[in-house]
Structure 1
Amino acid sequence: MKPAHRVLVDCQALLRRWPSEDELEQFKGQIAFQQLLCSLFEQTRTVEEEDSAAAIERSIEYLHEHYAEELTVQQLARQANLSVRQFTRLFKRATGKSPIGYLTAYRINRSKEELLSGGELLHTISRNSGFKDTHYFNRRFKQIVGLPPKQYARFRGYDTKIVTLHYVGLRRDYAGMATGDG
């Protein structure tokens, strides 16, 4: 039975029993009222679940478009019009990962593409992938991929330009661009 038809049937049953002197009919009227409320709640819940699924899908698209930017779960939840807890639960149900876990994996996959295309400095690749700190990028890359980025690129047949000079607390990449230690 279609949801709208179910509500109509429940309303009709309620109206038939409502103005009755018979206690049994009054009781049946109360049951009909409860069934009506239940039907309305089920419809609302279904609509909310569909809206939530669409919101999560939009969040995933947003992550894919803005992965190089600084993103927070709070920001993503706010955009999805969900609480952080509800957003995290629904996101994990949809993707199998937490929002930050998904974002990190996506960033690593994008960095793998850049590593294999060659020509970019590791520092540039880590920044392009959304990692502020090259050392953190190296650590996370190795945790997820099993190899450091340089070895991964070599293993795949490419070599990257990874030149780091430590001088007065600054790291300088091959292009001479200074970056802080943090």
Structure 2
Amino acid sequence: MSTIRGFQGKSQYANDIDKRFRPSACGPVTAYTILRYYENETTYAAGIDHLYRLLGGTKIGLFKWRFVRRMRKLLGPEWIVEDCGIERLKNEIDEGRPVAAKFDKWFSFHWFGKFVFDYHWVPVIGYKESENGVMLIVHDNGGRNRDSRVREIPYAPHKDILSFVKIEKTTVA
């Protein structure tokens, strides 16, 4: 089992987030918590509402291609922001770097499957492997009247609707 220590989650329904953004703020909250983990104060200090606008959040959520493109622009050349697979995700976690995960049954055309999340961004902060396969350890970004919490989600039944984005600082200031 590999888990990142000291990662703090945040509910997308927190009072400091604009009410209009809360239902679709999971992508910006995921970016915020990962940047906060890296202590990139200049990026997250403006708050999630500002990050929501910078990343191009919409009422139906945040598209992965837009998340990647706008995070690259926001963070600059000192950072790597790119798609990754499950093996790279495990390497990132082992190196102490959280990974953004997007569950998306709608745009992956798996409409009739039964999944933990239909369309949701979460930070992956760990994983464990067993004879039953890989379990992802995520912060779920909360819900109405519920704080963010750590959850374990099996990878195999979700692999067709899951994608991952690694966010890695390449230079040390």
Q: TM-score with structure 1 length normalisation?
A: 0.22
Structure with the higher helix share, 1 or 2: 1
Structure with the higher strand share, 1 or 2: 2
Q: TM-score with structure 2 length normalisation?
A: 0.23
